[in-house]
Amino acid sequence: MNLRLTRLALLALLLAASAGCSTKRTLYVTSEPAGARIWVNGEDKGLTPIAIPFIYYGTFGIRLEKQGYEAWAGEVRVPERIDGYPIIDLPFELVRRHRGFAWRGVLEPTIQETDEALQELVREAGAFRERTQREARSDPPRAPAPAPKRGAPSR
């Protein structure tokens, strides 16, 4: 009975220790502007800002999209820390229970040409054409006569 109780206590201690030694890792993603849809490794995760839990350090494929902005896609690397190596990680997991990594994506607005903006651009181009044609028709300025060379007889 005493041996059985000891084994049961040891098993309970092992289960409690193994359940409590897991460091939580989170990738915090924000975007400018906020509210961009985010995909991580091809999986839709929702809208920014968002906290994305992960287990293993490494590189994540990120895609951000928002109406009126150019989409952004690329890789975000979360560098490995000492708590990512087996056996070495145990003391660090007992001390630090959470690791957070922040990344911010900046989206560029798309250029939306309106009819008015295009018409203004055409007017400016026409004015530029007229000015350059006027300048081409006018007499070009005369170059000054070259200075006589030293030592050469003048006439």
Residue 139 falls within a domain, yes or no? Answer: no
Q: What percent of the chain has pLDDT over 90?
A: 39
Kindly report, residue by residue over 86-129, the tens digit of the pLDDT. 666 666 666 657 788 899 999 999 877 677 878 888 899 999 98
- Tokens standing for residue 61: 């494929």
Domain assignment present for residue 39? The answer is: yes
Residue 103: which residues within 8 A CB-CB, separation 6 or more? 27, 28, 29, 30, 62, 76
User: What's the number of domains the chain is made of?
Assistant: 1
Q: Is residue 69 part of a domain?
A: yes
* β-strands 43-47, 37-40 pairing: antiparallel
The answer to whether residue 72 is domain-embedded is yes
Tell me the residue type at 110.
T
In a domain, 123, yes or no: no
Query: pLDDT digits over 70-81, tens only?
Result: 999 999 998 877
Q: Look at residue 102 and tell me if it is in a domain.
A: yes
The CATH number for 81's domain is 2.60.40
Residue ranges making up the domain that contains 29:
21-106
pTM: 0.55
